[in-house]
């Protein structure tokens, strides 16, 4: 082998050595070998780190340490491609990390952990997730509520928040709409509440067999409530018919369920 060829091979070896060294140092082999604490404490202020045998928890606190703005959890749970798993939560809401981590939030390098923290810090929480987080908290409080009146109000508010993020009206929502329609200015209610449009209510009341519904309802409610049910259904039907016959009626202009 000529001297020139030997020198060329040596130069290639020298060029590859730094990259190989970095990859070896960057690679995470096990949970016990994963030691990011010193680096994180240098990079971020107001940091609280807790470590157990199976989990590492990093909490990024606000300046006065009154709230946790970001939590990063690394667990000793191997996946198919990675020795560890990592999860991040910003203001209590899970941050999607599929752009940085391997499948199932798999973590196998220090570079990934650093990029994950940066991604989570800059994550803009979607409106729907914020609403869902509030709904979850309200539902937990409602289940522990002992005041019946307060519980009714919390259930009502929780349902309104749910409809803000996903407008999927349930049977109870339609019943509430039918009950509210004859008693209030319905269009004003729709300015503040998520309710079906008037044409949808008209379709419901015109397509059902009112007599059959009343018979089935009477079988399920007490005698004292039967009069209220009968008056309610008739009041809705009369008002809808009156608006349909009115020259200024805009029922035909109504769109689908709002």
pLDDT digits (tens, 9 = 90+) for 17-58: 666 766 678 899 999 999 999 888 888 888 999 999 999 999
pTM: 0.57
Most confident of 13-17, 121-125, 145-149, 156-160: 121-125
Most confident of 70-84, 133-147, 180-194: 70-84
**Residue 89, number of CB atoms within 10 A of its CB:** 17
What pLDDT is recorded for position 156? 79
What pLDDT is recorded for position 14? 45
Tokens at 34, concatenated: 């994963």
d(CA 96, CA 87): 9
Taking Cα atoms as reference points, which of 117, 107, 123 lies closest to residue 40?
A: 117
What pLDDT is recorded for position 120? 92
d(CA 179, CA 236): 8
258 has pLDDT over 70: no
d(CA 44, CA 238): 67
From residue 169, how far is each of 98, 202, 205, 249 by CA, in Å?
32, 16, 16, 25
Q: Kindly report the average pLDDT of the chain as a whole number.
A: 75
190 has pLDDT over 90: no
What pLDDT is recorded for position 101? 93
What pLDDT is recorded for position 249? 47
Which of the four pLDDT bands, split at 50, 70 and 90, describes residue 238? low
Which of the four pLDDT bands, split at 50, 70 and 90, describes residue 9? very low
99 has pLDDT over 70: yes
Average pLDDT over residues 221-248: 54
For residue 61, the cross-strand partners are: 68
What pLDDT is recorded for position 230? 55
8 has pLDDT over 50: no
Residue 210's φ and ψ, nearest 5 degrees, are -60, -40
Length of the chain: 258
Average pLDDT over residues 202-209: 66
Average pLDDT over residues 74-87: 94
Average pLDDT over residues 231-244: 56
d(CA 150, CA 132): 21
Tokens at 115, concatenated: 């990029």
Cβ atoms of 73 and 56 within 8 Å: the answer is yes
């Amino acid at each position: 082998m000529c001297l020139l060829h030997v020198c060329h091979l040596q130069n290639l070896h020298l060029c590859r050595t730094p990259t190989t060294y970095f990859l070896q140092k960057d690679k995470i082999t096990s949970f016990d070998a994963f030691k990011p604490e010193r680096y994180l404490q240098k990079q971020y202020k107001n940091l609280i780190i807790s470590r157990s045998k199976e989990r590492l928890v990093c909490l990024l606190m606000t300046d006065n340490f009154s709230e946790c703005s970001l939590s990063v959890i690394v667990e000793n749970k191997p996946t198919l491609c990675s020795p560890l798993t990592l999860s991040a939560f910003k203001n209590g809401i899970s941050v999607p990390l599929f752009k940085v981590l391997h499948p199932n939030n798999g973590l196998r390098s220090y570079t990934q952990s650093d990029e994950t923290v940066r991604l989570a810090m800059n994550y803009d929480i979607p409106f729907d997730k914020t609403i869902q987080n509030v709904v979850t908290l309200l539902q937990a409080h409602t289940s522990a509520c002992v005041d019946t009146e307060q519980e009714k109000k919390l259930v009502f508010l929780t349902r309104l928040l749910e409809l803000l993020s996903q407008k999927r009206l349930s049977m109870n929502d339609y019943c509430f709409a039918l009950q509210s329609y004859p008693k209030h200015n319905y269009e004003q209610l729709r300015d503040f509440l998520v309710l079906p449009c008037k044409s949808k209510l008209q379709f419901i009341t015109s397509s059902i067999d009112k007599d059959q519904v009343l018979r089935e309802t009477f079988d399920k409610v007490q005698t004292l409530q039967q009069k209220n049910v009968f008056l309610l259904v008739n009041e809705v039907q009369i008002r809808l018919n009156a608006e349909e016959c009115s020259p200024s009626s805009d029922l035909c202009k109504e769109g689908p369920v709002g």
